[in-house]
Amino acid sequence: MKLYTFLILATGAAMVITVKSDLFPIPPEKPGASSGTVRLDAPPLELAVQSSEVQTGTSTIPTFPRYISLPSQDVGAPTGALPAGTAPGPGTTGQEGLEEYQLLGLGIRTVSFLGIQVYVVGLYVALPDIATLQERLIRTVDPVATTLVPAERSKLYDLLHDPSKSEEIWSSIIKSGNIRTAIRIVPTRNTDFGHLRDGWLRGITGKTQIANANGSTEFLDDAFGQSVSEFKTIFGGTNKGKVPKGETLLLLRNKKGELQAYHEEIKTLKSKSSDTPSDQLPPPPPSQKQTKKTKIQRSFLGEVKDERISRLLLLLYLGGKNVSSEGARDSVVDGCLELVERPVGTVEAQVV
């Protein structure tokens, strides 16, 4: 019995010695030396990697490209075909005569109390002009600041959602020029140019009526009426055709405020002809997936030089009590808040 008790005490003492003395210590790592051992003493660093596509919130048009290359509005109005799905990443020069634009925000246009989806709309800004937009947004809250602190960003958020002040702010930012923008429209159902045009014209008319009622004379001259007629013509005449689901309309505003409209039509490429009659060709294997090759044909529709037209089109989505897509406004405001939290000229917009 005494021997048994002695063995138990001896074993316990050995365990205490082992724990306290660390019989197999890890040698201290020399500064600058690498032991080759991975030690997870802290959570691993997560790198924020942006996807080239942004979720839209609808399964019909599930994504929008984060970057798109659009005709440079300083060299006229080029036309031509682009490979299907082309969307260069940041820092690429794209094709000759093209400028790269980045998505600032997007949303879905719906109608009626049933919330019927009409199209997905995205607002893009030319990469070289993002710093200008960033500076003007910051100056809206603080004339001398180079970035906004959380309380100031909260104030900007409220201003950009205010029924009256939001229109004043955006109108001033846009009217000052030197910010190239693009409104990208992709229908979620088959439509036509006339239907889309009529919706924009109703919005423009509503904006001008409110301005007139408030004593403004900006939209009362004959030149503005002529500009509205030019806008109608862009989507009339030979451009009265259909706009199928999934095709794209682009409304570009250049640094002087001139509007250019483009239509991106999806074309199916014809397969090469064969000397063998089609009824004599063997059928493809059942497991072989048959896909059609397509290209995007970008066509120039027309332009309006009066900057008031392109400014009003932007205000339909950005300013006022009622906008064409509240989701798009919210998304654009979120993108703007990300811009102003960093010093001017040091960041590109990020949409998540």
**pTM for the complete prediction?**
0.76
Residue 13 lies in a domain: no
pLDDT at 311: 98
**For strand 67-71 and strand 98-111, is the pairing parallel, antiparallel, or unpaired?**
antiparallel
Say which amino acid occupies 142: D
pLDDT at 347: 63
Compute the distance between CA of residue 182 and CA of residue 126 in angstroms, rounded to an integer.
8
pLDDT at 38: 39
Compute the distance between CA of residue 91 and CA of residue 100 in angstroms, rounded to an integer.
9
Q: Are 65 and 53 in contact (CB under 8 A)?
A: yes
pLDDT at 73: 67
Mean pLDDT by 10 residues, the chain (352 residues): 49 46 42 42 40 93 96 56 39 63 97 93 97 96 94 98 96 96 98 94 97 95 97 81 94 97 88 55 55 84 97 97 96 97 72 46
pLDDT at 294: 82
Domain with 123, as residue range(s), is 54-268+295-340
pLDDT at 239: 59
* Of 169, 65, 172, 45, nearest in space to 120 by CA: 65
Residue 19 lies in a domain: no
pLDDT at 263: 95
Residue 348 lies in a domain: no
pLDDT at 270: 72
pLDDT at 119: 98
Q: Are 203 and 324 in contact (CB under 8 A)?
A: yes
Residue 287 lies in a domain: no
Residue 347 lies in a domain: no
Residue 18 lies in a domain: no
The domain tally of the chain equals 1
Model confidence pLDDT, tens digit, residues 34-74: 444 434 343 333 333 467 999 999 999 999 999 999 988 65
pLDDT at 20: 42
* Of 185, 167, 187, 179, nearest in space to 349 by CA: 179
pLDDT at 34: 46
Residue 101 lies in a domain: yes
Residue 148 lies in a domain: yes
CATH number for the domain harbouring residue 149: 3.50.70.10
